[in-house]
Amino acid sequence: MHNFLPIAYFQNQFVPFTDAKISVATHALHYGTAAFGGLRGIPDPQNPKQILLFRLDRHCQRLSSSARFLHFDLPADKIQQIITDFVLKNQPTTSFYIRPLVYTSDLGISPRLHSVEKDFFVYGLELGDYLSPQGVTCRISSWYRQEDRSLPLRGKISGAYITSSLAKTEAVESGFDEAILMNSQGKVSEASGMNVFIVRNGTLVTPGFEQDILEGITRNSILTIAKDLGIPTVERAIDKSELFIADEVFLSGTAARITPVSRIENYQFSSDRPITEKLRDKLTAITENRDPQYKDWVFTIPLN
């Protein structure tokens, strides 16, 4: 059961969430011609009179870039202003998640991006832990990650998430929590909606952009934090067999934050995860605005 925030932004105005409805004939519903974002917000633990949003500018820029694939000009600063107003309208009192989405809103039956109306909406819901912070089990999916030559993977295009959905359900129905997808070259790509990191011999390793991954904002944050902490980092291809012999494995994403992996297939990992825990503690401190070094990553919204 989801607890949705009471106000949504829909068709250029703020309305009750229950009134934000689209037609069954909406173009994007039939063809996956939409792009979405997602960002977390929390009441400031030091000052409950303000809300903290993590890397709002990067999220807005990524959504603006994703909209370009749909031939939709939606400036990042406009998205940021609407999200700021959205938070002020809702006055959330607990940890929450914001979902902005751009989509082809026309009521048509022709799959295209030209000569079709587009729109933008925002809604939110209360959200705690998306995955267990104690650790999750993963299987290698039988489904493969799409290739950038057939789908613009640098954007969060909604139609692409059929593969993620197939992989996630396959994993859960076979007794695991999550799926790890390989790319068409047989290298590790990403999880159903998260980037993948491993630790080997003290070095943090994650697939590079050429492995058909999403340009994760949490992924980028982790790489920056690790370098600042003096942890060696490498972006390169990862083989399936390397997953099984890694010292630590974790998933990262806006919803998942940093989630340790306790087992992949029948390979169990140690519960001693020094680098994962160090990065997770640091990221938590940053998102709670307790680390002045990364203050520019945290956008504050004073409440009335």
The answer to whether the beta carbons of residues 52 and 299 sit under 8 Å apart is: yes
156 as an active site residue: the answer is: yes
* Dist CA 173 CA 241 (whole Å): 23
The answer to whether the beta carbons of residues 51 and 90 sit under 8 Å apart is: no
Indicate which residue of 118, 156, 187, 282 is catalytic: 156
- The three-class DSSP label of residue 7 is strand
Q: Which residues pair with 123 in a beta bridge?
A: 99
Tokens of 41: 């917000």
| Rg, C-alpha atoms of the chain | 19
The answer to whether the beta carbons of residues 25 and 107 sit under 8 Å apart is: yes
Cα distances (Å, whole numbers) of residue 186 to 24, 60, 108, 261: 39, 32, 38, 21
Greatest CA separation found in the chain? 56
**Cα–chain center distance at 55:** 12
- CA-based end-to-end distance of the chain: 29
CB-count exposure of residue 36 (10 Å: 0-12, 13-18, 19+):
middle
- The three-class DSSP label of residue 54 is strand
Cα distances (Å, whole numbers) of residue 90 to 98, 121, 124, 303: 11, 15, 9, 10
* Dist CA 138 CA 252 (whole Å): 14
DSSP code, position 149: T
Active site residues: 156
